[in-house]
Amino acid sequence: MKKGVVIVCFLLLVLNVMAQMPKELEDPTVPSVSALDPRATFFQYQSETLATHSNKEEDKNYLSLNGVWNFYWAENPDKIPQGFYSKGYSTQGWQSIEVPSDWQMKGFGVPIYTNVKYPFEKNPPYIQKHYNPVGSYKKKFELPKEWKNRKVILHFGAVNSAFIVWINGHQVGIGKGSKTPREFDVTEYLKKGSNDISVQVYRWNDGSYLEDQDMWRLSGIERDVYLRALPETYLSDWFIKTELSDDYKNAKLSLETTWSGELTGAKVELALLNPKGEEVLKKQYNIERELVIEESIISPQLWSAEKPNLYQLQLQVTKGKAVSYLGQSIGFRKVEIKNKQLMVNGQPILIKGVNRHEHDEYEGHVVSRDDMLADVLLMKQHNINAVRTSHYPNDPYWYELCDKYGLYVVDEANIESHAMGSLWNDGYSLDKTLGNNPKWKEAHLNRVKRMVERDKNHPSVIIWSLGNEAGSGKNFEDAAQWIKSRDNSRPVQYEQAWTESYTDIVVPMYYRINDMQEYLTLGDDRPFILCEYMHAMGNSVGNIIDYWDLIESEPQLQGGFIWDWMDQGLKGKTTNGEDYFYGGDFGPADVPSDKDFCLNGLIFPDRSIKPALLEVERVYQNVKFKNWEIGKAEVSCDIFNYYAFTDANELDFEYQILADGKVVSEGKWDIGNIVPNKHKNAVLALPKASQQDQELLLNILVSRKDSLPGLSAGKVVARHQQALSGYKAYAHEVTSSEDFRTYENEEKLCVFGDRFSAAFSKKSGLLIEYTYDSESFLKQPLSPNFWRNPTNNDRGYQMQNSYAMWRGTDSQLTRFTYNQLSDGILEVMASLSYMDGAVHTEIKYVIGGDGSVAVDFTMVKSTDLPDIPRVGMRMQLPIEYANVNWYGRGPVENYIDRMQAADIGLYHAKVKDLETPYIVPQENGNRTDTRWLQILNSSGKGLKIIGKQPLEFSAHNYTLEDLDDFPEHRFELPRRALVELNIDLKQQGVGGDNSWGYKPLKKYRLSQDTYSYGFIIIPQG
């Protein structure tokens, strides 16, 4: 009996031990166990050729552990396989997983998206016991024979979020902090031949309280895992500095190096090659434990985002013979703050930036090198010059690309504790924030140090950021002080510091234009750069031009970073194929979620472009044309060169003259030169034009003469369109016809002509039937419309509720009359009342003998009603009318506050291609400043609609009511056998200052009490 009790007690003790999470994973004073000090990203090669080409994967000093691992997923620490790390442990019954990967993307557990709320119970530093998934990984590998007696380092590029590693059953160490490397010396644990590595990854640990970023909460080994064998004499770390002279013409190259291993008789040969591959320096030095190398470089080619000139630094280590080789790209550049401005190489720069999360539509946080390159090239081709690594250090390869192709980087520490309190949120207190809690000091400092040490040699990194939305406090002050003592060559920023002294740049988020103007009155002497602005959620990024009109006029305002680069949608299967999913679409109903707030990108998850990115490209362009004076023989304007390092004579300027949308003249424009950050007045002589009765437009195209990394010769880098003549409304004379008659009954008034017929309802006053040559055009009447389906920004200020009176409004016909103006011309008048008389409309139709219908529409609203989302009319046509031609702004979707990228011209599209497929269906596909449009079938039959003033239009294969059912995904939006055509005077802008309360700017809202417009419908074919 006693023996049984002892066994039971023993089992209970074992189960209790099994259920416990390692104490180090709930202790913020322990950022790691047995991990090596952080270092810069470099590799010591055995092969000189591979070192030259940075191809460590092929080098004999490298052994990749990427690939297929055995894997066991448990929902909490209580259920992990005990002793799995023992050598010889059987993994029979386990599954397999690819490394790198996020295990949720491989079918284990649930992806969670939240913005602020922790996805676990908040009780820092502790983690809930009942649900904290753990992934156990196991893999065998063969130690290369030539590694005998070599020091071997185990490298984890990034593990989300904490992990323990064993080699051959021996615990090697513990790592926390999911976005920077952890390395361990595993020499003593390895043996000849076959070896066994085991890793246990915890979804959450105390460090998760500092990883509360607005992104998918995923888990796994997310970056490369490998072993590296060190040579007899090896470089432990180095800090490469390039100090420019006061006139920025010469430089001092400084290498602060730390060496380990056997140093006796060891030498290092340094060679420096310029961007053309020419050797400009070659010297040999005796290696010491701490070796500082300083050399003068005369007239180096400087690095900038515009001209990313890279030198190649090559090291050869010898001890009688070559021991190892290293290669490193470096850039000569200087970052400083002078005269209230951020400067690079003595020139003030404008930050034309975006925030970027690491995201893949299938792999989560694991992004391939090809996709990173695709991101860089897309940014370069759309005039983006800067990226903030929101909100954590990115994959090291990202920085190599930014160095090579030229992007300024704000490197941000992996710190966000938003749910503990953020500066601008209610209830914020320094007593609550972890940033002011001394127990969390080491956790903050460690993350900052690991970022700085890893990325310190990249010229693209021009600013260090302490993190995001984690409150202020002593821990951040200490972190800033540490950075400045370690690296005085870059400024430090932190949004939550606001104007506290430890941030060198004032970097608020979502400041509106008036807020920025107010900042200028404070007398602060620091640059002002928006760390986040233009919340690009859904159909957004309106009024970015207004931001930049102010930024370009005030030197202290130096730009900002749009939120953000890519929609964080995850591809998933539907009954009809695939679609994008977002927060709340995975797992049970109680999974924490902030729904579609992860969909804020300028591009879709597959990297297809949204119209907003084209608007950004136009507004971000570095050549602008302002202050036009238009004459008959010539025009002139001020041309502004907003480049910091590019002369205008490096660009080609061309012009086109358009008459009613068609090019009638074109040529080169010799403007002379404009040096960076300056402007000049230039004159363009106009060729004689015979099209005096047509609308004349001038297009300017600016392209590169020579290629640069990411930009080919001939790439158009700036555009401008300028009206040369005023817009003239198209005149259409309504013609009469002898074969013209009317018929009426109690229901409707009918009009007949030689080839057409039309009918008007006597109950609604609307045009309900319209045929031409036996083609019936109307599936639904031509009806007034004051509503649009809310965009994400509209939903943020609850337009669906506060403006609901404009939605699906019932009308009451108060007057219906008709009058024969002459033989073959009929005038029909209808008066409609809405909202118990709060809105009155008058519709006048003039029907001609040729079948044309001229429509004049006027609305008057009560002054106490809110702004009107839209003023227009809509109708439905059969689906075969699928082709649209138009003369107006295009080809891309545009709105009154987002039309810079949409020049006036002649365009053609299929109805289905007029749509922008926002992941969450909403208002889309609008075109403004439309002079006329045609909607035709495949035989060229259909309608032409001519505006008596510029129109807006959109066309879809679904109805406004379909959108107003608020489908949550694209696959839930029905496709119907119809075309719904909107013919509008205007709809309000889309806004973008934020998506949680701000309306479009006042000037882009429809706030008047009276609106009138008109158009003419003409049958075609």
Residue type, 109: G
Angle subtended at Cα 981 by Cα 975 and Cα 982, rounded to the nearest 5 degrees = 125
Please say if 469 is a catalytic residue: yes
Residue type, 273: L
User: H/E element holding 386?
Assistant: strand 386-388
Could you give the CA distance from residue 195 to residue 950 in angstroms, rounded to a whole number?
74
Which residue among the candidates 532, 615, 775, 923 is catalytic per the annotation?
Answer: 532
Pick from 850, 1021, 891, 856: which is nearest to 943 by CA?
1021
Pick from 463, 558, 601, 448: which is nearest to 919 by CA?
601
Which residue among the candidates 26, 400, 416, 469 is catalytic per the annotation?
Answer: 469
Could you give the CA distance from residue 365 to residue 245 in angstroms, rounded to a whole number?
42
| Strand partners for 857 | 843, 1013
Ordered alpha helix ranges (H), 600-701: 611-620
Could you give the CA distance from residue 581 to residue 969 in angstroms, rounded to a whole number?
7
Could you give the CA distance from residue 290 to residue 238 in angstroms, rounded to a whole number?
10
How many Cβ atoms are within 10 Å of 885's Cβ, its own excluded?
A: 16
* Dihedral sign computed on CA atoms, order 955, 960, 964, 968: negative
Structure tokens at 613: 């990115």
Structure tokens at 369: 């090198």
Cβ atoms of residues 873 and 951 within 8 Å: no
Cβ atoms of residues 301 and 332 within 8 Å: yes
Structure tokens at 811: 């009308």
DSSP 74-125: ESSGGGSPTTTTSTT---TT-EEEEES--GGGGTSS--EEESSS-SS--BTT
Q: What burial letters (b/e) apply to 765-780, b meaning 16+ CB within 10 Å?
A: bbbbbbbbeebebbee
Phi, psi of 170 (to 5 degrees): -100, 130
Phi, psi of 365 (to 5 degrees): -85, 0
- Chain mean position to CA 242: 32
Pick from 990, 991, 996: which is nearest to 424 by CA?
996
Pick from 124, 199, 193, 135: which is nearest to 167 by CA?
199
Structure tokens at 1006: 């429809």
Catalytically active residues are 469, 532
